Amino acid sequence: MKHRKPLQEVNPLADALRPGQSIELLKELHILTRDGKLNQDSRRKLKQVNHLVQFIEKVMHELGAGHGKSLTLADHGAGKSYLGFILYDLCLKALGSGHIYGIETRSELVEKSQALAARLGFDRMTFVNLSVLDATTALALPARVDLVTALHACDTATDDAIAFGLRKEAQAMVLVPCCQAEIARSLNAHKALNLKRTTLAELWRHPLHTREVGSQLTNVLRCLYLEAMGYDVTVTELVGWEHSMKNELIIARRVKTTNPQAASRLRALLELFGLTEFLHHRFTLLPDNAVVQ
pLDDT of residue 6: 53
- The 3-class SS string of 133-187 reads HHHHHCCCCCCCCCEEEEEEEECCHHHHHHHHHHHCCCCEEEEEEECCCHHHHHH
- The list of the chain residues with pLDDT below 70 reads 1-15, 239-246, 289-293
- Residues 84, 141 share a domain: yes
Residue 159 resides in a domain:
yes
Residue 6 resides in a domain:
no
Residue 12 resides in a domain:
no
Residue 11 resides in a domain:
no
- Residues 207, 67 share a domain: no
- Residues 42, 168 share a domain: yes
Q: What is the pLDDT of residues 218-229, one digit of tens each?
A: 999 999 999 999
pLDDT of residue 3: 57
Q: What is the number of domains present in the chain?
A: 2
Given a contact cutoff of 8 angstroms between Cβ atoms, the answer to whether 173 and 147 are in contact is yes
CATH number of residue 40's parent domain:
3.40.50.150
pLDDT of residue 243: 45
pLDDT of residue 75: 96
Residue 45 resides in a domain:
yes
Query: In which order are the strands placed within the sheet that holds 125-129?
Result: 125-129, 99-104, 72-76, 147-154, 172-178, 248-254, 231-237
pLDDT of residue 43: 83
- Residues 218, 143 share a domain: no
Among the listed residues 120, 262, 281, the one whose alpha carbon sits nearest the alpha carbon of residue 186: 281
pLDDT of residue 84: 96
pLDDT of residue 4: 58
Residue 232 forms beta bridges with which residues?
253
Residue 9 resides in a domain:
no
- Residues 185, 209 share a domain: yes
- The pTM assigned to this predicted structure is 0.89
- Residues 201, 118 share a domain: no
- Residues 94, 28 share a domain: yes
pLDDT of residue 245: 52
pLDDT of residue 48: 84
- Residues 117, 209 share a domain: no
Give the SS3 label for residue 36: coil
The residue segments making up the domain with residue 206 are 180-231+256-282
- Residues 129, 51 share a domain: yes
Q: What is the pLDDT of residues 144-157, one digit of tens each?
A: 999 999 988 887 88
